[in-house]
Amino acid sequence: MKGFAICQIGFERFLEKELAKSFSNVKKNKGYCIFDFDEYEKIIGFIYSSPLIVRAGELILEGKINPKLKDNNINFENSLFSFFNENLSFRVECERVGDHEFRSVDIEKFLGGFIHDEVKKRFGYLPKVDLKNPDLNIYSLIVDESMVLGVDLVGFDSNKRDYKIFNNSHSIKGDLGHVMCKIGLKDLKSGIILDPFCSDGVLSIELGFLLNNRSHNFYRKKDFLFRRLKRFENIDHKEVFKKIDEEEITNISFEIYAYDPMMPNIKATQKNAKIAGIEKAIKISKISTDMLELKFDENSVSRIITVLPSKSKLLSEDKIRKYYDTFFDQAAFILKKDAKIVLVSDKIDFLEFSDEYGFKNIETVNLFENNRKIYVLKK
């Protein structure tokens, strides 16, 4: 059997590594990966634990899409129709990346009509259509000229975090936070990890999830769409989830600090961390950037992972530049000699300050969203 996993464009290599731990023949493409799997328990465990996927499930087809929809020679595998029964409702959902002559709704109508007629032809009944709350969601992603289509076993955008209730304009998505944490933790087994501009707490919460083997879907176990499909009735998904929840990470020792100079951000972080159930793993305090050297000894911090402040109604250009100067001055003092800074920014203004204090940009990760990029700096 073949599976598919959708992610934000730019995160494919991270998703590929994640999939390779459990599946074979993993191949990455723009916006998604495909892979082989031999049992549904594995893919259920994957969709529960993966912080990166938007959707995932059983692959039906992958190929090129003809902009003239009626000229596409659709040949669905029998595996799709084996999901159907008379009591099951379905819909087709399409998301697109790139410029196309057609709309997403055109694809949904085209594929939905084809599947509807094919079910009637094969089984002699008209399948139920439910556009809002279907039992079977047939998900299609079209990126430029490529299309991947499969049975969605998730049923919601898994990269969205339900703990993100208290947000602000500097907030990032959970999957981006996870990627930054994975980059920051590379080759590190212990130490102090600091986010000095914690905003609404996404980075420290994702770090807490990662270091404590906590799934961001812990409170969404009942929401997965595969639970409605007859094929999964005899699979003990509760036991699959339980095994993942009970796995322990050993041989690591970290301290997570979430600081911010603004009290509203501290309150937002505290509330979001509590909703996530991870507040005990994070030390949250209102600390101004120029006070970091009083909180940490010289050469004591292993990593700084953060989102640099950017210009807004509350933060002028002059204030931002002052933040940058103070931040890199303090970072040069508290960071260990082999330490790194992993940060996200939509501008490169900070580089003049990082260079001044001896930090070199050793890696840049381009992101699909806005103009933001991940920068890895080394002392």
pTM: 0.93
Q: Closest by alpha carbon to 40, among 56, 51, 52?
A: 56
31-40, 69-78, 105-114, 146-155: least confident range: 69-78
Residue 310 has a pLDDT of: 80
Is residue 289 pLDDT above 80, yes or no? Answer: yes
Is residue 203 pLDDT above 90, yes or no? Answer: yes
**2-152 CATH choice from 3.10.180.10, 3.60.20.10, 3.30.930.10, 3.30.2130.30:** 3.30.2130.30
Residue 20 has a pLDDT of: 98
Is residue 369 pLDDT above 70, yes or no? Answer: no
Write out pLDDT tens, residues 64-86.
988 888 777 777 777 899 999 99
Residue 255 has a pLDDT of: 97
The structural architecture, per CATH, of the domain 174-216+223-378 is 3-Layer(aba) Sandwich (3.40)
Residue 170 has a pLDDT of: 83
Q: Is 42 helix (H, G, I), strand (E, B) or coil?
A: helix
Write out pLDDT tens, residues 238-262.
999 999 999 988 888 999 999 999 9
Neighbours of 323 (CB within 10 A): 22
At residue 332, what are phi and psi to the nearest 5 degrees? -60, -30
Instruction: Calculate mean pLDDT across residues 7-27.
Output: 96
Exposure letters 37-48 (e unless 16+ CB within 10 A, then b)? beebbebbbbbb
15-19, 311-315, 355-359: least confident range: 311-315
Instruction: Calculate mean pLDDT across residues 184-207.
Output: 97
Instruction: Calculate mean pLDDT across residues 22-43.
Output: 97
Write out pLDDT tens, residues 157-170.
999 999 999 998 88
Q: Closest by alpha carbon to 159, among 309, 5, 282?
A: 5
175-189, 239-253, 365-379: least confident range: 365-379
Q: Which two tokens stand for residue 273?
A: 């961390």
Domain ranges of the chain: 2-152, 174-216+223-378
289 CB burial (10 A radius; 0-12, 13-18, 19+): buried
Residue 370 has a pLDDT of: 67
Residue 368 has a pLDDT of: 76
Angle between helices 40-49 and 237-246 (to 10 degrees): 50
Q: Which two tokens stand for residue 334?
A: 């508290």
Residue 318 has a pLDDT of: 82
Residue 184 has a pLDDT of: 97
